[in-house]
Structure 1
Amino acid sequence: MKVSVIVTTYNWPQALRLVLRGLARQTRLPDEVIVADDGSGPETRQLLEEIARDFPVPLRHHWQEDIGFRAARSRNRAIAAARGDYVLMIDGDMVMHRDFIADHLRHAQPGSFVQGSRALTTPALSQRMLSDGTVDLSVFTPRLDRRRNALRWPALASLNLRRARRRPPRAIKTCNQGWFRADLLRVNGFDERMEGWGREDSELAWRAWHAGIVPRHLRFAALAWHLHHRERHMDGESPNDRYLRETRAALKVRAELGVDQHLGEFAAQPLPDLRTP
């Protein structure tokens, strides 16, 4: 099964460097990495061209104009360009354990998507990682919050998933998710009417639930460390709440403005591999 990793980013090339370093050291390498860029400045492109020189798999860059927070559209276009059967979505501030991809694939099942967790780095730990390039953390690393999410125990992860009950979406975050691409196309990806912070991930999960694609929460595997930073948003209400309420009330399955509008473009002209001059 071919795997496409989609990394969202916006104007933080220092963090992106760590994320890509972690991807290049996976025990099971992805088949391609697509950086979904929501309008970063030229520093990000320069970084990617530098890293691409010795990156072990195809590295692709999709950039869109910076006219506000448009994560839904950025991810949709990366999904449309992806060539893998399975799509892993992570944020550009998530540094992955060496077995991150292998763990996700071990627990992938048709008709479901996998929701992973994250451990949080404190400001001091995050700064150290950015300064010295550290990507190998463990449950014993000092200055780590949500430490329970830094424990890797594959047997317990499998047992936990087998015993998990089928339940509606909860605690949905696209910073660590695995999907069959066919399922994403079935529900038409993210709803691009949703701009600004919030709810585009939860709204997708509810449409998937209505389509019979269930969330499966993975613990004790597919570990990732979230780099500390000032948030681009405030917790609480989002202007996109109305779309989420509408989706739940109407039992919607497909996005009104979704990934299908981009498929033809990338079928005709695939995203280039930055390793190729």
Structure 2
Amino acid sequence: MRISLIVTTYNWKEALSVTLDSIKAQTLLPYEVIIADDGSKLDTVEMIQGYMEDFPTTLFHSWQEDTGFRLAASRNKAIAKAQGDYLVIVDGDLYLPKTFIESHANAAKNKCFVQGGRVLLGPEVSKQVLKEKLSPSFFSPDIRNRHNMIDSNLLSSLFTKIRNTDKSTRGCNFALWKEDAIMVNGYNEDFEGWGREDSEMVIRLLNSGLDRIYLKFKAVGYHIYHNENSRDMLDKNHDIYQKALEEKLVRCVNGVDKYF
């Protein structure tokens, strides 16, 4: 199984640097890393080019023009470029513990997709992570969902379940087979602005007959604190989500197929 790790980013090179350094330290390197960039400025581009010089696996930069929040399009372009069989999709503001990719590889199953968890780092501990590019300890202050920092085979086997709903969807830590992503035509690019594009894709994957693995105590990302994105488009986006739910849609019209 070849894993393509897709990392989304937009104009926050300091956090992206933390993510990239944590990828370099993985016990199992992905086959390739694709940075899905929603239009970052030149300083981010130059930083990524610097990482390409000695990165321990193939590193691609997939960039699109900045014309507003177009996360779905950015991810779809990266999916179309991916050469791997299995996609792990994360945000470029996560510190990834060293067994992150290995744990996702072990969790992958046919006819399933995987929802991973996250630890929420507060403002103060996030400053430390950005400065030192190291993981906080379990006992560090200013951490929410601290229990998710536990990496345990036993606890994971007890608490990892099939949960075929879109509840607790986290697009920042998500994995699926590339053929399944293509089957549902990837992310729906009708979404504009932040909100609901991840849940809508989960609904279409479930409508296609796949099972959702809710992975616990393995492959957890540590989320670096930042201000929340604007919710201005949330009502419109919720309507798109609701349509997929009510009409039991499997494929979106405005999806990844345009990039093949």
Which category of TM-score, normalised to the shorter sequence, fits these structures? over 0.9
TM-score, structure 1 normalization: 0.91
Question: Within 5 A, what are the aligned runs for 1:149-168?
Answer: 149-161=148-160, 164-168=161-165
Displacement of 1:167 in angstroms is 2.8
Alpha-carbon distance in 2 for matches of 1:46, 1:165: 42
Deviation string 1:197-232 (CA, Å, 9 cap, x unpaired) is 111100000000100112111110102110001122
CA distance in 2, matches of 1:213, 1:138: 36
Query: In structure 1, what is the equivalent of residue 220 of structure 2?
Result: 223
Aligned residue in 2 for 1:92: 92
1:141 has 2:170 as partner: no
Tell me, in whole angstroms, the C-alpha distance in 2 between the residues paired with 1:137 and 1:20.
17
Q: How does 1:65-84 map to 2 (within 5 A)?
A: 65-84=65-84
Deviation at 1:139, TM superposition (A): 2.4
**Structure 1 residues 165, 14: closer, same or farther in 2, change over 3 A?**
closer
Contact 2:162 2:211 in 1 (8 A): no
> Unmatched 5+ residue regions in structure 2?
none
Match of 2:184 in 1: 187
- Structure 1 unaligned blocks of 5 or more: 264-277
Counterpart of 1:56 in 2: which secondary structure? coil
CA distance in 1, matches of 2:25, 2:228: 28
Cα pair 2:193 2:233 within 8 Å, conserved = no
Amino acid at match of 1:56: P
TM-score scaled by length of structure 2: 0.96
* Offset at residue 138 of structure 1 (A): 3.6
Tell me the SS of whatever aligns to 1:15: helix
Match of residue 238, structure 2, among 237, 241, 244: 241
Between the two proteins, the alignment pairs up a number of residues equal to 260
Using a 3 Å threshold, how does the CA distance of structure 1 residues 73 and 220 change in structure 2: closer, same or farther?
A: same
Q: How high is the sequence identity, in percent, across the aligned residues? A: 40
Q: Which residue of 2 aligns with 1:266?
A: none
CA distance in 2, matches of 1:178, 1:261: 22
In structure 2, C-alpha distance between the alignment counterparts of 1:2 and 1:33, rounded to whole Å: 11
- CA 214–230 in structure 1, closer or farther in 2 if over 3 Å, else same: same
- Aligned Cα root-mean-square deviation (Å): 1.4
Contact 2:194 2:233 in 1 (8 A): no
Q: Which amino acid aligns with 1:139?
A: F
**Conserved 8 A contact 2:193-2:232:** no
Q: Deviations over 1:60-96 (max 9, x none)?
A: 0011111110000000000000000010000010110
Kindly state the Cα deviation for residue 157 of structure 1 after the two structures are TM-superposed: 0.7
